[in-house]
């Protein structure tokens, strides 16, 4: 829901229903989504709040996730009461009593993890959140926060795609396997770069490797890219960024894609730009 921040409730409802009808039930947004655009900070949450209000029963059919902690122009502020206030503002914009998964959007390097943990615990005890996770954290940052948490963190949200493979090597996905964390991968199509004509040699090489699988499977390049990420044993959940209902529906074609280990590694080699050791 990164780009879900206009003022067209009918179109926003169509996107949401397309996802739900396709079996997509995780709706991930953030208070910062919309910042820098016409409707500003909080626009994505406010728009989805209007969709929820106009469609009784929708709230109970989805897993509602949002994020907080980015506060321009500071830029990051997750300390103590501020995080609680941020979450409460999200609840008001969304028009709900509780958020299923509340995530710290980016690490505030000036915040002690014990203070973050206490704020999350307060929100949970008050029934304002049901579970907590983090986004864009390193494994050591995650471990520092987890050490102070009175209840387990359940998720991480890294950037992960055939064009951004760092989580395979920096310990993020290894930690997810170690701690049984849900992985929500953002920009699974490389910010859309994998959808169009490649403008650099590396993206072109990755596209060629994906297209070879797509041709054999009778699938789209996007579906193969989603499936490539989902093939990792941590079972990443790709966050679909499209605002087009048909493309949202087509995302579930990823479940139809089967690739061999050799094909998966061929995509990785293309992304790395060099042979594996």
Among all residues, which ones are annotated catalytic?
Answer: 33
Peptide bond just before 216 cis, omega within 30 deg = no
Contact 29, 67 (CB under 8 A): yes
Q: Is the dihedral of CA 51, 57, 62, 66 positive or negative?
A: positive
Separation of first and last alpha carbons in the chain: 38
Angle at 183 between CA 180 and CA 185, to 5 degrees: 165
Contact 47, 84 (CB under 8 A): no
- Give the integer Cα–Cα distance in Å for 48 and 150: 31
The DSSP secondary-structure symbol of 38 reads T
> Which helix (H) or strand (E) element contains residue 263?
helix 261-272
Burial code of 75-89, b = ≥16 C-beta within 10 A, e = fewer? ebbbeeebbbebbee
Contact 167, 187 (CB under 8 A): no
Q: Which residues pair with 237 in a beta bridge?
A: 184
């Amino acid at each position: 829901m990164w780009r879900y921040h206009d003022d067209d409730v009918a179109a926003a409802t169509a996107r949401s229903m397309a996802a739900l009808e396709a079996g997509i039930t995780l709706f991930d947004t953030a208070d910062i989504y919309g910042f820098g655009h016409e409707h500003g900070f909080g626009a994505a949450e406010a728009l989805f709040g209007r969709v929820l209000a106009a469609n009784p029963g929708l709230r109970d059919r989805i897993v509602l996730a949002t994020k907080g902690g980015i506060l321009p122009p500071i830029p990051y502020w997750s300390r103590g009461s501020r995080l609680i206030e941020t979450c409460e503002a999200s609840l008001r914009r969304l028009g709900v009593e509780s958020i299923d998964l509340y995530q710290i959007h980016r690490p505030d390097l000036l915040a002690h993890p014990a203070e973050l943990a206490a704020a999350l615990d307060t929100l949970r005890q008050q029934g304002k959140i049901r579970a907590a996770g983090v986004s864009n954290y390193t494994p050591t940052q995650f471990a520092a926060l987890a050490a102070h948490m009175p209840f387990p963190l359940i998720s991480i949200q890294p950037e992960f795609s055939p064009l951004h493979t760092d989580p395979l090597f920096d310990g993020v996905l290894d930690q997810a396997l170690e701690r049984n964390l849900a992985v929500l991968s953002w920009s699974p199509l490389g910010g859309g770069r994998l959808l169009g004509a490649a403008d650099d040699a590396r993206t072109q090489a990755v596209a060629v490797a994906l297209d070879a699988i797509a041709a054999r499977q009778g699938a789209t390049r996007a579906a193969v890219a989603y499936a490539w990420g989902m093939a990792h044993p941590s079972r990443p959940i790709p966050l679909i960024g499209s605002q087009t209902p048909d493309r949202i529906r087509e995302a579930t074609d990823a479940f139809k894609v089967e690739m061999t280990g050799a094909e998966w590694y061929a995509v990785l080699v293309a992304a790395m730009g060099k042979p594996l050791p």
